[in-house]
Every structure is written in C-alpha cells, then in structure tokens.
C-alpha cells in the first residue's frame, strides 16, 4: 500500500511539474514571437503564474498585448493582439475558467457585445503563432504564424471576401454576420 501511495505521489508531482509554466523571461521571449519583430520589445506580455492564473509579466508601451503559451494546454500556441481586444479576450478566458465550452463562450460574448456590456472594436488584428518546442534545445521549431482580422458582423456580401480560401494563403471569413466575424489569413506552411 505504501508503495502504491508513493507511486501516486510521484505521478502527481511529475504531472504538476510538467504543467508548471517556464520562468518569466522564457515566457516573455516566446510570447513576443507572435508579434511583428519591430514591436516585440515594447509589447505588454501576459503569462502564467505557478497556479495557472494569467498575470502581467511585463508592461508595454506600444498597445500590443502578447499572451504566453498556456502550460496546461497541449501543444504550443502564443498570440498577440491590440489592447482594444483585451476585454473581449479576458472575457473568453474568464468563461473558459468557469468551465464553459466553446459554444457557451461564443453565445455569452455574442449576447454581451450586442447588449453593449462587452466592448468589441470594429476592427482589430490577432497574430497567432504555433509550433513545437524542442525538448533538447528549447528552440521553437515548425513555426506557423497566421492572422485573424476581427471585423464584427462582416459577411462575404459586405466585404467581398469568401467563406473559404480561393487559393493557398487566400483570405476567408469565419463566423460571418456575428460579433466574432473575422478574416483568416493562413499563409502556406513553410513560407
């Protein structure tokens, strides 16, 4: 029995250790990779403390906010966006922390944007960088940067942008006609 308890405690410790966030400087260095290079030094950076709570790691001066990789989620993903999007992004994090699924998060924010209780800029950009962290070197490999341009309530009819890309890297609209309507630009991989 003691042996089983010891193994269980070891697994809990190892699992907790695996989910611990990297140190602050490492979180900042990786988070800003999603931002345009000339803006990285002046971005505000949000990251994770040891309890998994989102905290400000660095105050910036250029109006761009970068969010570090969530160590509790599989894979690697960081994002940067204009500060005007932060209330919208923060609300999504709050709802997910309450256990809401994607549809409930969407529906709640849609209702709140329509009611005017959740600010949503009429245009804003989100940069999303994914990749794989090499465990041996600590380097980010297989980087892939895509762009999300929020234009609430836009449709193919109002923009001329289709619902699917017409060619490699072509823009397309997701969630047309909703508060979360956005143009997706997914460059061909490897470029």
Question: Whole-prediction pTM value?
Answer: 0.84
Give the pLDDT confidence score for residue 5 in this predicted structure: 33
- 75 three-class SS: coil
- According to DSSP, the residues that pair with 48 across neighbouring strands are 54
Higher pLDDT, 40 or 189: 40
Q: Encode pLDDT of 163-175 as tens digits.
A: 999 988 999 999 9
Cα–Cα distance for residue pair 139/112, rounded to 1 Å: 40
The three-state secondary structure class of 76 is: strand
The whole-angstrom separation of Cα 126 and Cα 149 is 6
Contact yes or no for 97/48 (Cβ under 8 A): no
Cβ-contact 52, 72 below 8 angstroms:
yes
pLDDT band of 2, cuts 50, 70, 90: very low
Residue 6 CA, chain-centre distance (Å), reads 37
Pick from 182, 162, 180: nearest CA to 103: 180
């Amino acid at each position: 029995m003691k042996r089983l308890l010891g193994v269980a405690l070891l697994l809990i410790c190892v699992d907790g250790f695996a989910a611990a966030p990297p140190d602050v400087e490492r979180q900042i260095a990786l988070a800003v990779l999603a931002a345009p290079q000339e803006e990285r030094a002046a971005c505000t950076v949000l990251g994770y403390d040891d309890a998994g709570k989102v905290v400000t790691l660095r105050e910036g001066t250029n109006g761009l906010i970068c969010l570090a990789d969530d160590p509790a989620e599989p894979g690697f993903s960081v994002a940067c966006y204009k500060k005007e999007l932060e209330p919208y992004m923060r609300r999504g994090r709050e709802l997910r922390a309450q256990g809401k699924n994607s549809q409930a998060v969407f529906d709640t924010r849609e209702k709140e944007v329509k009611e005017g209780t959740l600010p949503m800029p009429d245009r804003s950009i989100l940069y999303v960088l994914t990749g794989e962290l090499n465990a041996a070197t600590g380097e980010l490999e297989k980087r892939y940067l895509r762009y999300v341009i929020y234009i609430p309530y836009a449709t193919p009819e109002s923009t001329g942008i289709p619902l699917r890309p017409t060619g490699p890297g072509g823009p397309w609209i997701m969630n047309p006609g909703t508060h979360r309507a956005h143009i997706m630009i997914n460059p061909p991989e490897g470029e």
